[in-house]
Amino acid sequence: MSAITIKNLSKKFQDTVAVDDISFEIPFGEVTALLGSNGAGKSTTLNMIAGILLPTSGTIEFSGKTFEKNYKEVKTNLGYLTCDMALYETFSVLETLRLLGDLKGFSQKKTNDRIEQLAEQFSLGEILEKHYSELSSGQKQRSLISASIIHDPEILIFDEVTASLDLVVSKDIMDFLKAEKERGKAIIFSTHILSEVEYLSDRILMIEKGILVKETNHQELLESSNSTNLTEAFYKALKEEQVAA
Amino acid sequence: MISLRNIKAVFKKEFLQIMRDKSVLFTNFFIPLFGVPLYLIFVLEAANYTVAKSNAPLKDDTIFTVSYQGELDPELVDQLSSNKKIELKQLSTTLNEAEIVDYRTKFKAFIELKSKGFSLKKKIKKDKKILKENNEKLVKAKNDYLSALQILKGKYTDDTNVHIAVFKTDSQAFVTYFFYSEENIISQAALKHTRLIFKKYETQLITSFKSQKNIQEYELNPFHFWDVNLDQSTSKLIKVMGLGIGGGILFLLLMSTFHPTINTTIGERDQKTFKILLMNPISLHEIFIGKYLNVALQGLLTLIPYFIEFVIVYAWGNSNHLFQNLPALTATTIAFIIAGTISAAIFISSMCFLACAFAKTKVQAQSLITLLMFALMIPIGTIGAMDIKLSSIMACIPLINFPISIENLLLNNPNYIAVTLGLFVNLAASMVLIWFSLGAFLVQWKGSSDIKSLNDILSSKRRKSKSLAPAHAFLAFAIAFLGYVYGGYAISTLEIDIFLFLFSPLLFCLGTSIFITQYSGLDFTKTFVWRGADWPYIARLIVAAFSLSLLFNLLLSNSVALEMFEIDFPVIFESNQFASLASYFLLFAVIPGFSEEILFRGIIFKGLRSQYSLPIAVILSSVFFAVIHFSMFKWGHTFAVGIFLAIMYEKRGLISCIFFHICFNSFGLLFGMNQDLSSFVSGMSTTGRLIIVPVALVFSYFLIVPKREEIHSSSETSFKEAA
């Protein structure tokens, strides 16, 4: 069964259509990359999947469950991270993580165990006691990831997480996602950095002006456009679509 | 299903967040723990001092004088002279003494003549001669009164003696004048001492009168007591300190509570932490309730010290309550503190949420909350103007009036049905308020049918304004308004010196301007420019000020100028014609010119202009400018002048505005003061007015607002100057 099943998803903001009748599925154990130019509707789609936005029409199912019927269950299975997120500046990272564990409905012991795990995984050791405002951008990113997966969710939604991060930190994040994929999790992420797509993704969804224009993978994209690298292929595909439109 | 666990978690988080805000440390802990107690000690000491003074007994060797004029009843003379403390003295009927004795009559005549004179002025219109005679009478009466007052001050108040004058006015009644000073301990005690003797004599007199006439029921008041207070009452001062300054502290505290509160509520969007919260299995209602409870708690913490202060000052101000009805007072105090703080906390949090619900950014929320505070201030502002009591105004505000109802129930009003009904109505109004604020907040967050508007919050391409200017423009206005209210309140109800009345707006205006400048980075000193200043433009401004002033005098039939004369000036202004003119000029033209222009154009208009379009900024600032002039008759023309000034500021800079304002007010003064001019104005025919009004308006517009080329060239000049 697919982790996420999306049918005829649309989102309108007043007069503009941000997402127009998109349907796709995301299976467990795979990484799906969402590509598209700025304002194509990637973030809106991911926000709807994360349950932050409500779609104008269409359905989103998580292994047969929906926000409407199984709100808490679905939410506890989602991990969402975006580049314009931050932790509370007046709290230490530890305090924030505890608060989030509390909100997830964990017992104190379970939260503490999980924090220990994360601390090891992301070498949070010295960061935990610090306030968010005192952290470097790499440390911030590590603490943010810990915060978003404190409940060890089955589905990860990462929206342009590596934007404005240096290579080393980006690589760490990619490695983390790859490891999570190995653990059988469903991952959907959006990015503008095509090397990440190349490194990580099993499938590519290309969105343009709110419409899902291509559902493909890395190899297919290269072949169909007679290109040697992904950047060129993506560029060509984008041009094609613009001409067609 | 709403989970208490989630609400608790959000509440805890919000609470910690607010507590870690350093400004909260100051407003919620430092001020209540140190500031308010220090202030209270000061107020209580002042109160103690006054009470102790008025209750001080007479020393054994104290002797004071009771003077009387005319023939007194030998019985009364006996009683007075047999008292060891009283030295009885019969006043001769020389002119000076008579003048003093008669000063009250003269004063009354002066007041009557004054009002008569002005009404005459309106009626006769053309008859200059009568007007002049009338004016001479007026001046004479005024001088009589002032000289009598001087003599009185010199003769009847010194440190050792208190003079109680007794005058027999007709066969039945005596009039007694007690000339005493609150600063003089003897006078208070002597007054009580003498009154006891008079009271005893009065009882005898009435009893004998009744037995003579053989009647049982007869209303007889042989004595009329006139207490002439030459010095300002200290108890009044306590009330000013308690309610006025206390009100100021409350206002500042409230404003500083709103900011961290808004920060945690709406600021979560700005600080990008909102999504972290939303990704939890928590509903918006739970987030909302947790936040609301926390805001209410903050309001509560802020208000407790203020209410304690309010109750203590209230109790001292009405010391009868304190001594006569201690259990009731204790009950009221407790009720006031509990009901008052809780209801006000709910009121504040509702206001905060209302603001957060309609605002998309922190700046907007702050502006809104300031406006809401301002809306609260308007009814309070009417206190001074209409002689309305504070409690009756507060009774109009839902929730806030809760403790007043309880106080009525306990102390004043035995009509339990009415008070209970009032409480219920109040409760209903409060519920509507809470419901409205909660509803508005949820609608804003959740959208009418889905989380649509949440999207607007999260992904809206709202203008990220770095400038807090509009918020501070509103704040500046609110604080200045408070200053004006305080000034008006002081003059009309507490008989405080005219200087306080006139200078408090000035101080508030300048103080606010400096505060805002420091706080927002809006530097009004940089607006002190006069772009394209040349003699023709200066001349044009003078002509425009003249024609506009004439116009408004015509429209208002001189009532603006008349209003100025309604205020009784201190003696110094009356004695010297030049000093009088200069002080009028200073107080009514120069000071408002500077302070109001800096505030209304340099801060408020500039702040509004940074975020809004020209028409909106012009109109809003003009509305503020008009509102601050209180009197409804002034709203129209101050609004119009506000528009002219705002446009002038935009095109030509602040100095031209100050210049124009001073000119405009000076001409207004001239029309009011100069008899010939004012009679010319009031004597003009309707046709004349109909012609001159539109002409003056259009004429002034073209004089003030420069043509396009002119603006262009003038801005060029200023660039060159700057370079």
Indicate whether B492 belongs to any domain: no
pLDDT band at B18 (very low <50, low <70, confident <90, very high): confident
Q: Looking at residue A72, what is its pLDDT?
A: 84
Q: CA nearest A57 in B: which residue?
A: B450
Highest mean pLDDT: which of B216-225, B307-316, B350-359, B668-677?
A: B350-359
State the average pLDDT for chain B: 63
Q: CA nearest A67 in B: which residue?
A: B281
Beta carbons of B227 and B188 less than 8 angstroms apart: no
Same domain as B295, residue B218: no
B-chain residues within 8 Å CB-CB of A88? 13, 17, 271, 273, 276
Cβ separation A148–B279 shorter than 8 A: yes
Same domain as B535, residue B409: no
DSSP class per residue in B653-681: -HHHHHHHHHHHHHHHHHHHH-HHHHHHH
- Total domains in chain B come to 3
A-chain residues within 8 Å CB-CB of B16? 90-91, 95
Same domain as B444, residue B321: yes
Cβ separation A100–B276 shorter than 8 A: yes
Q: CA nearest A80 in B: which residue?
A: B279
Assess B202–A contact: CB distance below 8 Å, yes or no.
no
Q: CA nearest A146 in B: which residue?
A: B276
Indicate whether B589 belongs to any domain: yes
Same domain as B410, residue B293: yes
Same domain as B371, residue B273: yes
Q: Looking at residue A187, what is its pLDDT?
A: 92
Tens digits of per-residue pLDDT, B665-697?
888 777 766 555 556 666 666 666 666 667 777
Distances from the Cα of B261 to the Cαs of B302, B351, B352, B470, in angstroms? 12, 11, 7, 19
A-chain residues within 8 Å CB-CB of B17? 88, 90-91
Q: Which of A80, A88, A134, A161 to mutate to test the interface with B (most CBs of B within 10 A)?
A: A88
Mean pLDDT, to the nearest integer, of A135-139? 85
B353: closest CA of chain A, how far (Å): 21
Picking from A19-33, B141-155, B622-636, which range would have the lowest pLDDT averaged per residue? B141-155
Cβ separation A103–B451 shorter than 8 A: no
The domain locations on chain A are: 4-77+154-244, 86-152
Q: Looking at residue B574, what is its pLDDT?
A: 43
Whole-angstrom distance, CA of residue B179 vs CA of residue B579:
31
Assess A52–B contact: CB distance below 8 Å, yes or no.
yes
Residues 6+ apart with CB under 8 A from B289: B2, B7, B10
Whole-angstrom distance, CA of residue A53 vs CA of residue B456:
10
At B21 the three-state DSSP class reads coil
Same domain as B669, residue B574: yes
Indicate whether B450 belongs to any domain: yes
Whole-angstrom distance, CA of residue A54 vs CA of residue B159:
82
Q: CA nearest A150 in B: which residue?
A: B280
**Residue that wins the pLDDT comparison between B514 and B293:** B293
E-strand spans in B77-184?
86-90, 163-168, 174-180
pLDDT band at B719 (very low <50, low <70, confident <90, very high): very low
Q: Looking at residue B453, what is its pLDDT?
A: 35
Indicate whether B70 belongs to any domain: yes
Same domain as B558, residue B415: no
Cβ separation A100–B451 shorter than 8 A: no
Same domain as B208, residue B298: no
Q: Looking at residue B505, what is its pLDDT?
A: 55
The closest of A19, A149, A137 to A83, measured between CA atoms, is: A137
A74: closest CA of chain B, how far (Å): 8
A-chain residues within 8 Å CB-CB of B271? 86, 88-89
Indicate whether B481 belongs to any domain: no
Instruction: Report the sign of the C-alpha dihedral through residues B687, B689, B694, B698, in that order.
Output: positive
pLDDT at B300 over 70: yes
Q: Looking at residue B722, what is its pLDDT?
A: 36
Q: Give the B window 438-467 contacts with A, CB below 8 Å.
A: 447, 450-452, 454-456, 458-459
Assess B280–A contact: CB distance below 8 Å, yes or no.
yes
Indicate whether B474 belongs to any domain: no
Beta carbons of A155 and A63 less than 8 angstroms apart: no
B-chain residues within 8 Å CB-CB of A148? 276, 279
Among the partner-chain residues B12, B279, B450, the one whose CB lies closest to the CB of A50 is B279
Mean pLDDT, to the nearest integer, of B453-472? 40
Highest mean pLDDT: which of B251-265, B530-544, B606-620, B652-666?
A: B652-666
Q: Looking at residue B713, what is its pLDDT?
A: 43
**Residue that wins the pLDDT comparison between B312 and B570:** B312
State the average pLDDT for chain A: 85
A151: closest CA of chain B, how far (Å): 10
Q: Cβ–Cβ contacts within 10 Å for residue B106, how many? A: 21
Q: Looking at residue B376, what is its pLDDT?
A: 58
At B570 the three-state DSSP class reads coil
Whole-angstrom distance, CA of residue B355 vs CA of residue B361:
10
Classify residue B29 by its DSSP letter: I
A185: closest CA of chain B, how far (Å): 18
pLDDT at A32 over 80: yes
Among the partner-chain residues B12, B20, B276, the one whose CB lies closest to the CB of A147 is B276
User: Where among B186, B209, B229 does a domain terminate?
Assistant: B229
Write out the residue range of the structural domain in which residue B193 sits: 64-229
Indicate whether B329 belongs to any domain: yes
Whole-angstrom distance, CA of residue B369 vs CA of residue B258:
8
Highest mean pLDDT: which of A193-207, A218-232, B167-181, B371-385?
A: A193-207
Assess A91–B contact: CB distance below 8 Å, yes or no.
yes
Assess B23–A contact: CB distance below 8 Å, yes or no.
no
Q: Looking at residue B500, what is its pLDDT?
A: 44
Picking from A111-120, A155-164, A204-213, B302-311, which range would have the lowest pLDDT averaged per residue? B302-311
Distance from the Cα of residue B517 to its chain's centroid: 24
The CATH class of the A4-77+154-244 domain is alpha beta
Cβ separation B455–A47 shorter than 8 A: yes
Cβ separation A105–B17 shorter than 8 A: no
Same domain as B98, residue B176: yes
**Residue that wins the pLDDT comparison between B610 and B7:** B7
Same domain as B632, residue B574: yes
**Residue that wins the pLDDT comparison between A104 and A222:** A104
User: Where among B438, B464, B490 does a domain terminate?
Assistant: B464
Indicate whether B102 belongs to any domain: yes
**Residue that wins the pLDDT comparison between B375 and B710:** B375
Q: What is the ipTM of this complex?
A: 0.87
Q: Looking at residue B226, what is its pLDDT?
A: 54
Helix (H) or strand (E) holding B518: helix B498-520
Tens digits of per-residue pLDDT, B104-131?
555 555 555 555 544 444 444 445 565 5
**Residue that wins the pLDDT comparison between B45 and B389:** B45
Mean pLDDT, to the nearest integer, of B485-505? 46
Q: Which of B20, B272, B280 to mutate to test the interface with A (most CBs of A within 10 A)?
A: B280
Cβ separation A86–B273 shorter than 8 A: yes
Q: CA nearest A157 in B: which residue?
A: B279
pLDDT band at B495 (very low <50, low <70, confident <90, very high): very low
Beta carbons of B206 and B155 less than 8 angstroms apart: no
Same domain as B250, residue B183: no
Among the partner-chain residues A90, A100, A104, the one whose CB lies closest to the CB of B17 is A90
Whole-angstrom distance, CA of residue A144 vs CA of residue B204:
93
Same domain as B290, residue B223: no
